[in-house]
Amino acid sequence: MPPGLAFRSRTGAPQAGRPTSREQLNQRWDMLRDRLSSHRRLAAAGLAGLAVLVAWPALGSRSTGSEILVAAHDLQAGSRLTDQDVRAARLPTDAVPAHALTPGMIVSGRIPTGPVRAGEPLTDVRLLGPALLDELSRQDGRVLVAAPVRIGDGGAAGLLQAGDTIDILAAASFAGESAGVPGAEPQNAGAAGPARLVAVAARVLAVPPAEGTDPTGGALIVVAVPPATAADVASAASTSRLSVTVRGAPANPAPAGNPAP
């Protein structure tokens, strides 16, 4: 007779067909354990499905997002970028700014026109270049060019930042030159003539880091002005010491260009 099917009579002799109390208890325990195991499998499957539903939006946005270039760390205005200054990042498509730079575009050597925070997306108008000039020209209503200008006082140039609106003045080193007479003999050598305006309401595009530590050695800035104004500034720089004054933000700003006659 198979084990588990024998039982004892009142006299103590084992009889077939009836399991003992221990065997019945073991059978019930096995049935309960099988049911609990089945419920655990169902619960695990349900939790796994819930996790997929919760993660699905993030997975979907990651797969449909766009890869762009962002600042790898805080960037200074006027500093020349290297490949280590940018990194690739993936953003949801609806969060990508217009004309964002993408991996593969050349950014090495380009100049930010303002401070950039780490992780900030880089766009065409955040860097000095044709796109920025096109946008400024559209706002100004005239064609603008980027003109490098060396300011005589490096300390004063260090107070400027991208986005400032300035006037550029030229003070000739000699009285003869200040009178506008080409080739005139210098009078009172070493004296400065009266300052004159050579550019009005020029937009500062970049202030590259100073090359030296001498604040009187001059400093380079880049401004957006019309081509004719750029020529006047270049001509004045060859004979005069250039300085700047910073304008406020008038309600109706005048377009950048030459001073009014």
Mean pLDDT for the stretch of residues 95-99: 89
pTM: 0.56
Mean pLDDT of 160-169: 89
Over residues 108-113, mean pLDDT: 83
* Sign of the alpha-carbon torsion through 225, 162, 221, 201: positive
Chain mean pLDDT for the chain: 76
Q: Give CA–CA dist 48/50, Å, rounded.
A: 5
State the pLDDT at residue 32. 67
Task: Tell me if 65 sits within 8 A of 106, measured CB to CB.
Answer: no
Average pLDDT over residues 124-130: 81
* Residue scoring higher pLDDT (136 or 170): 170
Name which residue leads in pLDDT, 59 or 202. Answer: 202
- CA 118, 120, 123, 126 dihedral sign is negative
- Inform me whether the pLDDT recorded for 155 exceeds 80: yes
